[in-house]
Amino acid sequence: MLPTQIMESGGVLNSRLSETNFSQGRFQFRLLLDGNLVLNTRDMATNFPYAAYYISDTKSDPPRILPSPPGPETKKNQGALILAGSVLLGSSVFINFVLIGAVCLGFFLIYHEKSIESHHGNHSAVETNLRCFTYEELVEATNGFKEELGSGAFGIVYKGAIQMGSRVVVAVKKLDRVVQEKEKEFKTEVNVIGQTHHKNLVRLLGFCDEGQHRMLEYEFMSNGTLASFLFGEKKPSWNQRTQIALGIARGLVYLHEECSTQIIHCDIKPQNILLDDYYNARISDFGVRPILLPLEGQEGMLLQSGSTAIQSLQKVDVYSYGMLLLEIISCRKSIGYLELGEEDREILTYWACDCFQNGKLDTLVENDMEALNEWKRLERFLMVAIWCIQEDLSLRPTMRKVTQMLEGVVEVDVPPWPSQFSFTS
């Protein structure tokens, strides 16, 4: 058997007689199916080929068929299978991540919603930074509601001091005539008021909603009300008065058009305008009264954007602003007690329109030289006020246009005479 010869299972090799004679020789070499190698002679007396001179006695397993080397098509199929398996495995991992993320998100949303509901139920001002005070905290803050700052038709205001990082002076409004079934509306409006932020609005700092006790805590305005400022012994300067008028107009524009929930004040008057340390005007008492006085009109209404009643109700604020502007110009109350011989001035609107018609602005401002030195501005402010108090709602401008006219951005036409007025001359 040559070194390069390969013998398969069941194969037979015979020896040759000599180097030159290739006839079958005496010996025969076999590879049996069970793996044994057998050497035997062909001419033994028994003539049984397996009576061997030698047997390897190999204890091998049954013969295995070795796989043939893969061809090009097989390699291609294997590559496709590997790619498909990889895609499926990757997709499975991605889907698992998505499912886990969805489950986690679901748990988070459920927990978050419950948390909001719980917090809303306890504090009622979830969407704002308002602080919820207990009744005892406010009793202590006001020293037993000792110092009264003022009172109105729906509550009394007390001076107090609370700890908010540092000691802060506040005005605590103790609300009365609270209707219990309106608790939800109270919480809603506290949330809405707490979200208003404008330099010409009084800022709400906190609230109390404990049993029968409902109170609102505002920042304290050191210079009191516009009423006390206008109608005091000393007349404020013309420049101060014009800046106050502009500030109030800008605050109303914010309430009507710029805050998230439109607010109609419906009670604009000098008593509801406060002055801060620098005599900047701050509108107060917006958005509160319908909670407390549901049967007494529409004061302080909160309206959703798109309501058909909004424009008409905004014109109520415009009228009130026109009346207030006349008071700011003249430093006189709209209706009040006058001395003998001044009966023609008893109703401010009549008198102001009469002065404008006859060109007697000096009489209206009682010879205030600072105002008379700005005659054009004085005339412009007076015409704006007359536009605001027109009987026909459609003739009254919006508060945005009012602000633009006061600032001189928009030209002011001569207003028509309000039809309900009768003039003295």
CATH code, domain with 399: 1.10.510.10
**87 within a domain of the structure (yes/no):** no
Look at the chain and count its residues: 425
Please name the helix (run of DSSP H) or strand (run of DSSP E) that holds residue 174, with its range, or none: strand 166-175
Residue 407 has pLDDT above 60, yes or no: yes
Question: What is the distance in angstroms between the CA of the first residue and the CA of the last residue of the chain?
Answer: 149
Residue 379 has pLDDT above 80, yes or no: yes
Task: Please state the residue numbers annotated as binding site.
Answer: 174
Q: Same structural domain for residues 214 and 303?
A: no
Q: Same structural domain for residues 201 and 341?
A: no
Give catalytic status of residue 267 as yes or no. Answer: yes
Q: Per the structure block, which two tokens stand in for 228?
A: 């006390």
Cα 97 from Cα 211, distance rounded (Å): 50
How many separate domains does the chain show? 3
pLDDT of residue 11: 74
**321 within a domain of the structure (yes/no):** yes
pLDDT of residue 23: 60
**187 within a domain of the structure (yes/no):** yes
Q: Same structural domain for residues 262 and 175?
A: no
Q: What is the mean pLDDT of residues 121-149?
A: 80
Lowest mean pLDDT among 58-62, 144-148, 399-403: 58-62
Cα 201 from Cα 247, distance rounded (Å): 9
Sheet with 155-164, side-by-side order of all strands: 131-132, 204-210, 213-219, 166-175, 155-164, 148-152
Q: Same structural domain for residues 288 and 322?
A: yes
**Pick the catalytic residue: 34, 209, 267, 392?**
267
Q: What is the secondary structure of 119-137 as a DSSP string?
A: HHHHHS-TTS--EE--HHH
pLDDT digits (tens, 9 = 90+) for 215-232: 999 999 999 999 999 999
Task: Please state the residue numbers annotated as binding site for ATP.
Answer: 174
For 48, the domain range is 12-55
> Do the beta carbons of residue 236 and residue 227 sit within 8 Å?
no
Residue 392 has pLDDT above 70, yes or no: yes
Cα–Cα distances in Å, from 321 out to 40, 84, 212, 258? 132, 77, 35, 18
Choose one of 186, 201, 220: the last residue of a domain. 220
Choose one of 200, 220, 240: the last residue of a domain. 220
Buried b (16+ CB within 10 A) or exposed e, 373-402: eeeeebebbbbbbbbbbbeeeeebbbbbbb
Q: Same structural domain for residues 156 and 260?
A: no
pLDDT of residue 192: 85
Angle between helices 310-330 and 399-407 (to 10 degrees): 30
